[in-house]
C-alpha cells in the first residue's frame, strides 16, 4: 500500500515538475505582420493619411518567441503621421504600397475615398454587403467552437461511427476469431484512432456545409451576387487566413442561392455577438427617414451642412461620411 502511495505521489510530483516549466516556457503571443501601406481616414488626424496595415495573429510561443504567424485575430492600421493605431479591414483595399508615400495613395489602394469616384464607392458598398454575410458565418463558427455552452459537444454521425468501429472491431475480432494475431487488433485500433482524429479535425467543414452554407445562401439571395463577386470574396478570405474561405466553393453557393430564390436577406443562426460589421440596409433606411432640413456640423472643417450629407459640400474639405468612414456628421 505504501509503495502504491509513494508511486502515486511521485507521479503527481512528476506531473507538476513537467507542467509548471511548460507553462512558463510555452505560451501565446500576439503577432503583427505588415501587409503594406494604404490610404485611409485617420481618426486622430481627421484627414486621409498614409497608414500601415498589419495582420494581427495569436501564435504559440516558446520563451516569448512566436512560432509562426498564428491564427488571424484581425487587422490594425497605424498612421505614419501621428502613429495612432485603429482597427481596419484588409479586404477594403485594392492593393498595398511597399513603402510609405508623402501623399496618400488613394487611387491605387483606396479609390472609394475619392468623392468623384462614384463607381468605386458603389462597388465598395456592394462588396461590403456580400462580405458581411461571410463574416457573420465566421462569427457563427466562432460562437460554436470558442464560446460553446457547457456540456456542448460537436460529435456528428461520421465521428460516432468511427469511434464505435475503433473500439468495437478489435473486440468483435477477439471474440469471433480468437486466433487473430494481436498485431492485427493493434493495427486496426491505431487506424481507427487516426481516422477518428481526422474526422474530428474536419468536423467544422462538415458543419459549415450542413448548417451554415444554406443559411449563407439565403442571406445572399436578395443581393444576387455573381460568380465573380463570390469568388473574389472567397479568394480574399483565403488570402488573409480566414478558414471559411476553404469551407465552401463558388459553384456550391450559386447552387444554394438559386435554390433559395429571391427571398429577403435572412440573418445567419446563433448570432448573439455584435459583429462590429456595419449592416448598410438599416442605415440607408434611416437616412431616408431623416428630415431633409436637419442640420449638422462637419467634424473636419466644422462647417454647417445637411445632417444626411454623404460628404462635406465644402470644396476645400470633401470629407466622406459613409458607414465605413471614421467621420460622421454631428447634429447641431
In a domain, 34, yes or no: yes
Number of domains in the chain: 3
- The residue written with cell numbers 488570402 in the block is 239
Identify the domain containing residue 149 by its residue range. Answer: 118-276
Q: Are residues 92 and 48 in the same domain?
A: yes
In a domain, 15, yes or no: no
Hey, which of 44-53, 94-103, 135-144, 230-239 has the most confident mean pLDDT? 44-53
In a domain, 128, yes or no: yes
Question: Shortest CA distance to 202 belongs to which of 239, 246, 254?
Answer: 246
Average pLDDT over residues 178-197: 85
Inter-axis angle of helices 250-260 and 227-239, to 10 degrees?
130
Grid coordinates representing 174 are 477477439
Inter-axis angle of helices 118-146 and 227-239, to 10 degrees?
60
Does pLDDT of 281 surpass 60? no
Alpha-helical segments (H) within 147-181 = 157-176
pLDDT at 131: 84
What is the chain's mean pLDDT, rounded?
76
Q: Are residues 329 and 296 in the same domain?
A: yes
Q: Are residues 128 and 187 in the same domain?
A: yes
Q: Answer with the one of 82, 116, 150 that is the final residue of a domain.
A: 116
d(CA 34, CA 41): 18
Q: Answer with the one of 237, 252, 276 that is the final residue of a domain.
A: 276
d(CA 184, CA 182): 5
pLDDT at 286: 36
Model confidence over 14-61: pLDDT tens digits?
666 666 666 677 778 888 888 889 989 898 888 888 999 998 888 888
Q: Are residues 131 and 231 in the same domain?
A: yes
Share of the chain above pLDDT 90, in %: 5
Q: Are residues 131 and 254 in the same domain?
A: yes
Using an 8 Å Cβ cutoff, are 215 and 266 in contact?
yes
Q: Around Cβ 110, how many Cβ atoms within 10 Å?
A: 22
Q: Are residues 174 and 257 in the same domain?
A: yes
Decide which of 239 and 257 is more confident. 257
- The residue written with cell numbers 456540456 in the block is 151
Average pLDDT over residues 90-105: 84
In a domain, 16, yes or no: no
Predicted model pTM: 0.57
Q: Are residues 288 and 156 in the same domain?
A: no
Q: How does DSSP classify residue 208?
A: I
Does pLDDT of 271 surpass 60? no
3-state secondary structure of 28: strand
In a domain, 4, yes or no: no
Q: Answer with the one of 88, 116, 144 that is the final residue of a domain.
A: 116
Q: Are residues 264 and 132 in the same domain?
A: yes
Does pLDDT of 282 surpass 50? no
Does pLDDT of 289 surpass 60? no
Share of the chain above pLDDT 70, in %: 75
Considering only 95-99, 215-219, 285-289, which range has the smallest mean pLDDT? 285-289
Amino acid at each position: 500500500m505504501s509503495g502504491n502511495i509513494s508511486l502515486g505521489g511521485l507521479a503527481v510530483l512528476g506531473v507538476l515538475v513537467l507542467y509548471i516549466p511548460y507553462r512558463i516556457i510555452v505560451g501565446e503571443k500576439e503577432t503583427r505582420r505588415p501587409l503594406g501601406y494604404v490610404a485611409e481616414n485617420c481618426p486622430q488626424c481627421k484627414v486621409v493619411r498614409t497608414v500601415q496595415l498589419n495582420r494581427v495573429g495569436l501564435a504559440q510561443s516558446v520563451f516569448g518567441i512566436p512560432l509562426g504567424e498564428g491564427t488571424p485575430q484581425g487587422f490594425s492600421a497605424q498612421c505614419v503621421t501621428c502613429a495612432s493605431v485603429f482597427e481596419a479591414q484588409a479586404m477594403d483595399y485594392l492593393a498595398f504600397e511597399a513603402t510609405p508615400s508623402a501623399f496618400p495613395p488613394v487611387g491605387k489602394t483606396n479609390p472609394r475615398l475619392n468623392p468623384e469616384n462614384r463607381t468605386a464607392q458603389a462597388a465598395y458598398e456592394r462588396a461590403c454587403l456580400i462580405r458581411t454575410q461571410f463574416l457573420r458565418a465566421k462569427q457563427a463558427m466562432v460562437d460554436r467552437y470558442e464560446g460553446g455552452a457547457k456540456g456542448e459537444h460537436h460529435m456528428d454521425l461520421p465521428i460516432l461511427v468511427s469511434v464505435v468501429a475503433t473500439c468495437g472491431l478489435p473486440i468483435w475480432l477477439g471474440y469471433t476469431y480468437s486466433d487473430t494475431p494481436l498485431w492485427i487488433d493493434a493495427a486496426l485500433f491505431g487506424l481507427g484512432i487516426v481516422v477518428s482524429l481526422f474526422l474530428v479535425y474536419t468536423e467544422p467543414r462538415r458543419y459549415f456545409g450542413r448548417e451554415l452554407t444554406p443559411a449563407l445562401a439565403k442571406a445572399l439571395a436578395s443581393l444576387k451576387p455573381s460568380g465573380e463577386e463570390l469568388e473574389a470574396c472567397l479568394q480574399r478570405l483565403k488570402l488573409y487566413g480566414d478558414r471559411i474561405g476553404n469551407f465552401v466553393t463558388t459553384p456550391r453557393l450559386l447552387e444554394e442561392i438559386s435554390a433559395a430564390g429571391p427571398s429577403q436577406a435572412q440573418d445567419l443562426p446563433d448570432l448573439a455577438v455584435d459583429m462590429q460589421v456595419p449592416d448598410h440596409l438599416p442605415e440607408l433606411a434611416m437616412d431616408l427617414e431623416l428630415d431633409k432640413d436637419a442640420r449638422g456640423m462637419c467634424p473636419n472643417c466644422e462647417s454647417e451642412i445637411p445632417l444626411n450629407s454623404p460628404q462635406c459640400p465644402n470644396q476645400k474639405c470633401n470629407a466622406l461620411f459613409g458607414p465605413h468612414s471614421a467621420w460622421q456628421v454631428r447634429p447641431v
